[in-house]
Structure 1
């Protein structure tokens, strides 16, 4: 199974990994400094994702308090065509606002803690 991750090459302080595209989209919306039509377009794509893609109940393998630093990373299934299309549209808007968006691809995301029709959430393997 091929998995994709749209990222901004800034490190997320919770995970130590690159920041995911949805976090960047929320930041752009909060900033409120884009033309209204573009903001509406971005909001439509974000709301589609929020409505159609479930929020995983778990982002870590262990529930132990000592493992609170452990946090899974969301990966999009390459065959989730509608979601990939939305992410590409969000990436285009982000790039027009000066963000660099990279597309990562893997078939080994780490220890899987959640999977649904759209995505996989996995804790990266040690050293990844």
Structure 2
């Protein structure tokens, strides 16, 4: 359960993911930037640098399961709903790097919004920098 004195941060794009209710995450949007005809070369290089930083500095769970939810091959799935990743407030450097990624993605024509909450939902996985939560009926 989320602690009420903490505010969690998520970066999202204004594109929904296939049959899911939630918006596209920023890491999923990197493919859109690479496939876009309007992305400047410098921005694509910067996105690669940032993505490499996150690959080196942000854990990804190999797999987990709770109830009807499971994580497999990079996707969180629960009856058509995904778990959403949130940065913990202590992840100051990770959040700073995400703000850099937001600026670069916007240069590629992909709008990014910063969403915050004190209750991301039921936590199904976490580490020192982030948590993954099932949002339930909330839409982020």
TM-score normalized with structure 2 length: 0.78
Most deviating of 19-28 and 82-91:
19-28
Distance 1:42 1:127, change over 3 A: closer
Please say if 1:72 is aligned against 2:77: no
Which stretches in structure 2 are left out of the alignment for 5+ residues?
Answer: 1-5, 71-77
Distance in 1 (CA, whole Å) between partners of 2:64 and 2:100 is 26
2:9 counterpart residue number: 4
Match of 1:57 among 45, 49, 62: 62
Distance 1:10 1:59, change over 3 A: farther
Distance 1:5 1:60, change over 3 A: farther
2:30 counterpart residue number: 25
Most deviating of 10-19 and 113-122:
10-19
Distance 1:57 1:126, change over 3 A: farther
CA contact (8 A) 1:60 1:71 kept: no
Runs of 4+, deviation exceeding 6 Å: none
Q: CA RMSD in A?
A: 2.3
CA contact (8 A) 2:122 2:135 kept: yes
Distance in 1 (CA, whole Å) between partners of 2:69 and 2:125 is 17
Please say if 1:46 is aligned against 2:57: no
Match of 2:113 among 87, 93, 102: 102
Most deviating of 113-122 and 36-45:
36-45
Which stretches in structure 1 are left out of the alignment for 5+ residues?
Answer: none
Distance in 1 (CA, whole Å) between partners of 2:87 and 2:25 is 11
